[in-house]
Chain A
């Protein structure tokens, strides 16, 4: 077959066009942020969490009542224009109590999760990356700390420091890092033998650089998922501690405590349980959605 040259013509290829195709230079973090913004479900979680945080700050000021004011005439009132979320068994306004509880719950959960994760990542990272005798020593020490029940720590700490927010956070910090440390250690052990880590060493990278530039970004997915799981866990644990009387004491409140109080009058006044339960659930759902989105955003392999 003879080719008809008139039918074909050369197209000039220029690099300028190609550059337009691929877009500007992006760093890993910028790219991750861009992908997170595109993820509608994750951004929905972010919006809900931001709204909750704003309401925790301003919510108590919006109602007419103080969270601690007892009104024995208006006990167990259903939600109305007067009391937006109703009142509890001693006539305290639940709207005010929910947002005061949000402050406490979100604060404890956030601080506990961040402290736990930080300690866990550092200890696990050191243990896994440096390995050897140090690793054995750290992991055995971890086993010993882990072998004592959580409640014993809480009781000892409340004996020493009394009840309140700080002792609870301390109890969380003291025990919660273990899971994270084990996880990070496993990851570090696996990652440090990877060829790209060896290659970075061969380029002269310091241990610090390898940890920050290679190990942490590659572990981040696992860390973030664990972190978002730790937050609801902290909210629940606080509720359960309050229930057995070594958590927060009234009139200071939290979502866990409100749910606990509501569960006692569930049949007669279900709104007292449903309202805090909905807040706990929505918070957890938002965190999970955000966590999922972050894990996807931080893994360029899932880039579309």
Chain B
């Protein structure tokens, strides 16, 4: 057994957008997530973060590449294999309003997974488990009979977390679980996720675009741009010693609640817009907006290389080619 929970090799997910055009949402991503750690995945809107998460969760069929889950290849799964996979990997969704069926009570939402997998032998056992899960995510027993729309956003997200935990998974994809919430509630949910990770020994893929939150929760951070991974490193290194020009630009945009620091800080502004992911040009994805770009950057896409132990960068300039 390797120490990796998930390993993704050259994963590609293209969407057909008609007239022979392809939207390359995820274009050759390779990464791994160690057991028990949190990998933060950051990037701009539309860079393919969610698509990557959903492809790992098997909501999308990958166009190409391989996904290993606990050393098992899950790229192609039978119905039975998929059922087993769902017991080990779950997802927390971005929008707590859309992700709960408003025609179901909190109790039946949480117990749906248990019903599908026929985990509980009796009604009372199922009831107990629901109460246990509600308690675990900081809700009360009496919430079980209420309908989803009777809860606030933060409470709904807690129900979503309880639903994901119902099957005792080891790996959870958190798809921007806090971006739809109020700032004060964001902290609660983040702390809940950290608490649960400690108690249940969970592994997270934490997708977000808020770099401060990612810094708080992640062990390692991966930066994505236009469907490709630009840089992966441990959390400390990521913030102190970014190597990729895109990461530098991203980090310079973090607001710091100290006017002196903000005044002294030099903001790196990227010129132009994000190119369209439909039929992208060859070469480095970031080349069109990169200050360091050389002609070679427009010809060949850089590979993700380990420049320091545990620090991977996909840039011709950094890896010295």
Q: Does residue B187 face the partner (Cβ distance < 8 Å to A)? A: no
Whether B140 and A204, one on each chain, are in contact in the complex, defined by CB atoms closer than 8 angstroms, is no
Given known pairs A15-B140, A23-B145, the reply for A202 and B98 (CB within 8 Å) is no
Whether B147 and A204, one on each chain, are in contact in the complex, defined by CB atoms closer than 8 angstroms, is no
Q: Does residue A18 face the partner (Cβ distance < 8 Å to B)? A: yes
Whether B59 and A300, one on each chain, are in contact in the complex, defined by CB atoms closer than 8 angstroms, is no
Q: Does residue A264 face the partner (Cβ distance < 8 Å to B)? A: no
Q: How many Å from the CB of B128 to the closest CB on chain A?
A: 13
Provide the bound-state CA to CA distance between A201 and B54, in Å: 12
CB contacts between A and B, total, < 8 Å: 92
Interface string of B114-148 (1 = CB under 8 A from A): 00110000000001000000000000111011110
Q: Which among B3-11, B24-32, B87-95, B312-320 touches the partner chain?
A: B87-95
Interface string of B156-189 (1 = CB under 8 A from A): 0000100100110000000000000000000000
Q: Does residue B100 face the partner (Cβ distance < 8 Å to A)? A: yes
Whether B82 and A204, one on each chain, are in contact in the complex, defined by CB atoms closer than 8 angstroms, is yes
Number of interface residues of B (CB under 8 A): 40
Whether A202 and B91, one on each chain, are in contact in the complex, defined by CB atoms closer than 8 angstroms, is yes
Q: How many Å from the CB of A259 to the closest CB on chain B?
A: 40
Interface size class of A (residues with CB under 8 A): 20 to 34
Q: How many Å from the CB of B76 to the closest CB on chain A?
A: 17
Whether B105 and A28, one on each chain, are in contact in the complex, defined by CB atoms closer than 8 angstroms, is yes
Provide the bound-state CA to CA distance between A199 and B89, in Å: 12
Q: Does residue B86 face the partner (Cβ distance < 8 Å to A)? A: yes
* Residues of B contacting A199 in the complex (Cβ-Cβ under 8 angstroms): 91, 93, 99, 160, 163
Nearest residue (CB) in B for A19 is B142
Whether B163 and A203, one on each chain, are in contact in the complex, defined by CB atoms closer than 8 angstroms, is yes
Whether B100 and A196, one on each chain, are in contact in the complex, defined by CB atoms closer than 8 angstroms, is yes
* Residues of B contacting A18 in the complex (Cβ-Cβ under 8 angstroms): 140-142
Q: Does residue A301 face the partner (Cβ distance < 8 Å to B)? A: yes
Instruction: Identify the A interface with B (CB < 8 A).
Output: 15, 18-19, 21-28, 194-196, 198-206, 209, 213-214, 217-218, 298-301, 303
Instruction: Identify the B interface with A (CB < 8 A).
Output: 54, 57, 59, 82-83, 86-87, 90-91, 93-95, 98-105, 107-108, 112-113, 116-117, 127, 140-142, 144-147, 149-150, 160, 163, 166-167
Contacts beyond the supplied A15-B140, A196-B100: 15 A-B pairs with Cβ under 8 Å: A15-B141, A15-B142, A18-B141, A19-B142, A24-B145, A28-B103, A28-B104, A28-B108, A198-B59, A198-B99, A199-B99, A203-B167, A205-B116, A298-B103, A299-B103
